Amino acid sequence: MSTTVESELDRKLHRVRRLSNSYRSLFNWPTTVDSKTCSISLRIGEVVDALTMRAGFAAEVNNILTVHMMHAPIIVAPGTPDDWIFLTQPRTELRASTWEDLIRIQVEWRQPGSLIVLPNEQNASQGRRWLNGPTVGRELPPWSAVVAAARSASTLRGRW
């Protein structure tokens, strides 16, 4: 019985490692695999950054990006309500007032070096999934473009 469980875990881990290798080779994303949880994590900072917002508001932001012909890979992180994590190019410098606006409209960012768990078959049952998956050959949107879309979608825009 334990041999069957171990071989199933080995198969799962092998599939997760293959997927992690694909993210590295196709997108140049710095991913790592946790062999205990069979999860793939993406390191934020030099190559990829991320902005997180509540699903309803995030749908408006995504619509603005789409109108401007930008495609952001988006991870749905389950919660009450769900969060959407927009993957972007590395962050750029912002004025203090822009950071304040992001805080006010509840857009969150991660510290460089932090990890985001990517969707895979192991965490799909908990609701983590791609809303928009990454596309080979398509660049991530600039971090500043997602920030601008969030600010445009907010009810605060009349105050700028």
Q: Is the pLDDT of residue 158 over 50?
A: no
- Please give the Cα distance from 139 to 106 (Å, whole number): 26
Write out pLDDT tens, residues 7-26.
877 888 999 999 999 999 99
In the numeric block, the tokens 């605060």 are attached to 156
Contact 49, 145 (CB under 8 A): no
Q: Mention every residue, 6+ apart, whose C-beta is less than 8 A from residue 73.
A: 86, 87, 130, 132, 133, 134, 135, 140
Query: 126 or 89: whose pLDDT is higher?
Result: 89
Q: Which amino acid is at 110?
A: R
